[in-house]
A and B are shown apart, each in its own frame.
Chain A
Amino acid sequence: MSMTNTTTHKENAVWKVYGEELKSRFFIGSALYPSPDIMQQAIKASNADVITLSLRRQSPQEKGGEQFWGFIKDLGCHLLPNTAGCHSPQEAITIAQMSREIFQTDWIKLEVIGDDYNLQPDPFGLLEATEVLIKEGFKVFPYSTDDLVLCQRLQDLGCEVIMPWGSPIGTGKGLMNPYALSMIRERLPEVNLLVDAGIGKPSDACQAMELGFDGVLLNTAVAEAVDPVVMAGAFSHAIQAGRAAYESGIMPARESASPSTPTVGTPFWHQSS
C-alpha cells in the first residue's frame, strides 16, 4: 500500500484508507490542548484529514460533550474515535459500538491496554477485539506494538490499517525500534501502516515516513508544545518531507567515505620521479 498509491511524488497526492481518499498523511489527536480555540487552530495548521476523539462518562450537570462536539464537527475532518482506557476486549467492543452510534462512523482506533504504566497494547486482547469488530463491520485501526507477528495476525483478521507504536504513549521518545518498524514495512507491503504513539518531534515523524510508513498519528507532541499551532505546521511539513524522501529513493548508507567532488584533476598531487 506504501508505494502502490503513488509512483512519483506529487504535491497533494491522495491515498486511500478503507476506501476513503485522504490528502494528508497526518492523523492528529484532539486532547491536551491549552484551550478549544488552540485545538482548532492547531488542527487547521496540521492540514490533517483525520482527528481522533473519545467517549467518557458524563453527568447530567456537565455540558462538556456537546460543547466539545461543537468545536470538532465543523472542522470537516474524518473522525477516528478511540477505545482509550479499555483494558479488556469487551470494554473496547462496547466503546466501539457506542462510538459508531454517536459519531456515525465505522472507523475505530482500537486500543486494548495491557499495562497501566507504559500503556502498552495487550496483544491477545487486541486480536480478540479486532476479530469481533471486523465481523461487525467496523473499519479497525489497531494500536499495536512493533511485533511483526502481531501485525501479521492483525492483517490476517482483515485490518487494512495497522498502527504500531513508536514508543509509549505521551513519552515523546520517538522511534524506539526503527529496525522492527522497517521489518513490518518490508513484510507487510499491502497494508497501510501508521506510526502511532511516542512521537516527540517533527524529525521523529519524518523518520517514520522515510521508513516507508504511510502516515503518522500523534497528539501530545503538538498539544504540549510551547506553541501548538506552529508545532502542528512543523509536523505537517516533516511528514510531507519524509514521504517525499521515501518516494524519491533515499541513497543507501555506506561504511566508507565516497567523495562527492571528482577526484580526477585534484591539484598538488605529483607523481614521484
Chain B
Amino acid sequence: MSRMINVSINNSIEQIEVGSTVLNAIETLGYESTSMLGVAINQIFVPKEKWAETVLNDQDKVDIVNPVSGG
C-alpha cells in the first residue's frame, strides 16, 4: 500500500502518494489542459519544464492559477 502525504492544493487538503510530482498531482486532480496554468509551491514559482521532476513533500502548499480579469 502506497504511503500518502497531505498537500494543500489551492487551500484544499489533498492526499497524494509519496513521490508524486507536480505533474502527477495536476493530472490526478483532473486538470484537462495545462497550457494556461501556473504553479507555485510554498510561494515559490515552479516553471512548467520542472513540473515532471518536482516532487511534492508533506505539508507543501501548492497554488495552481490561471488567467482571470483584472484591473
Q: Do A and B bind each other?
A: yes
Contacts from A to B (Cβ < 8 Å): 29-33, 39, 52-62, 64-66, 68-69, 72, 81-82, 84, 90-91, 93-95, 97-99, 101-103, 169-170, 218-220
A220 touches B38 (CB 8 A): no
Nearest neighbor of A98 in chain B, beta-carbon distance? B38
**B contact residues around A99 at 8 Å (CB):** 38
The answer to whether B66 and A66 have CB atoms under 8 Å apart is yes
The 8 Å CB contact of A58, one of B47, B65, B71, is B65
Contacts A60-B29, A69-B36; is A55 near B44 (CB within 8 Å)?
Answer: no
If A60-B31, A94-B45 touch, does A54 touch B67 (CB 8 Å cutoff)? yes
Q: For the complex, what is the distance from the CA of A33 to the CA of B69, rounded to whole Å?
A: 9
Q: Is B63 within 8 A of A57, CB to CB?
A: yes
Which residues of B7-59 have CB atoms within 8 Å of chain A's CB atoms?
Answer: 10-11, 29-33, 35-40, 43-45, 47-48
B residues near A (Cβ < 8 Å) are 10-11, 29-33, 35-40, 43-45, 47-48, 63-71
Q: Which residue of B is nearest A84, CB measured?
A: B70
B35, B44, B45, B64, most chain A CB atoms within 10 A: B45
> Could you tell me if A55 and B65 are in contact, using CB atoms closer than 8 angstroms?
yes
CB distance from B11 to the nearest CB of A (A): 8
A55 to B38: give the CA distance in the assembly, Å: 9
- Contacts A91-B43, A94-B43; is A56 near B65 (CB within 8 Å)? yes
Question: Is B67 touching A68 in the complex (CB atoms < 8 A)?
Answer: yes
With a cutoff of 8 Å between Cβ atoms, the chain B residues found around residue A55 in the complex are 38, 65-68
B61 nearest CB across to chain A (Å): 12
C-alpha spacing A31/B45, complex, angstroms? 25
A58 to B66 Cα, complex, angstroms: 6
A228-B31 Cα distance, complex, nearest whole Å: 34
Known contacts A55-B67, A59-B10, A170-B71; 12 additional CB pairs below 8 A are A31-B70, A33-B69, A39-B69, A55-B65, A57-B10, A60-B30, A64-B66, A66-B35, A94-B44, A98-B40, A99-B38, A101-B38
Q: Which residues of A contact B39 (CB under 8 A)?
A: 98
- The minimal Cβ–Cβ distance linking B36 to chain A, given in whole angstroms, is 5
| The residue from A57, A60, A95, A170 contacting B32, defined by CB atoms under 8 A apart | A60
Query: Closest approach, in angstroms, between the C-beta of A110 and any C-beta of chain B?
Result: 13
With CB as the reference atom, state the residue of chain B lying closest to A59.
B10
B70 & A82 in contact (Cβ 8 Å cutoff): yes
- The reply to whether A54 and B66 form a contact with Cβ atoms under 8 Å apart is no
Give the chain B neighbours of A82 by CB distance below 8 A. 70-71
Q: Enumerate 7 A-B pairs (CB-CB under 8 Å) in ascending A order.
A: A55-B65, A60-B30, A69-B67, A82-B70, A94-B44, A101-B38, A170-B71
Q: Which of B65, B68, B70 contacts A98 (CB 8 A)?
A: B65
